[in-house]
Structure 1
């Protein structure tokens, strides 16, 4: 089981596998069981956003046990959080904030 940190800019915390793009993150979600995922929204100019990952999680049903949304984008945070809260099973813990240090 792995932990994933999706972000194109911030350094990846210890104990996490970095994903710099939504495509990398989705490949990890497809290949591995994921315990914790922390999501950024903006992943570079003109690139797919973290919302693509959220859409994949919801459509595939491959929910990590815990989801953090660490983005600094207010609108991106709202979109991702809203979609996850609407669709995630009750046992999935969703945090609308960065991971604690």
Structure 2
């Protein structure tokens, strides 16, 4: 199965070779397939009712803790400093409880 990189953002353009998604559910669907090697997340996506990048962190954290999911490399590119810190803490929790791809 071909490995992919996923870029979650509502405004920025995805880097070349990355799959661009706009909503957390789209990112999670790709993660569930199991071939995501790297994911880069923005927090603020323009409609908090549809979710934020932090929701993807929470999904990964739960999947790692409860299902033995191996998380991809996770990057945060959000300009929202307080949200970035919260997301980075979530990544540290994921690393502490499970495996993360290098």
TM-score using structure 1 length:
0.82
Task: Tell me which stretches of 4 or more aligned residues in structure 1 moved more than 2 Å.
Answer: 89-93
Structure 2 unaligned blocks of 5 or more: none
Mean Cα deviation higher: 25-34 or 76-85: 25-34
> In 2, are the aligned partners of 1:38 and 1:70 still within 8 Å (CA)?
yes
Q: RMSD over aligned Cα, in angstroms?
A: 1.6
2:60 and 2:94 in contact (8 A); partners too: no
Q: Distance in 1 between matches of 2:56 and 2:89?
A: 14
**Structure number with higher helix proportion:** 2
Q: For residues 91 and 26 of structure 1, what CA distance do their matches in structure 2 show?
A: 16
Tell me the equivalent position of 2:26: 24
Q: What is residue 50 of structure 1 aligned with on the other side?
A: 53
Question: Given that residues 10 and 46 in structure 2 are in contact (C-alpha distance below 8 angstroms), is that contact kept between their aligned partners in structure 1?
Answer: yes
1:19-75 CA-partner distances (Å, limit 9, x unpaired)? 1001111111112321111110001133311011000111112300x2111000001
Q: How many residues align?
A: 92
Question: Contact conserved, 1:20 with 1:43, CA < 8 A, in 2?
Answer: yes
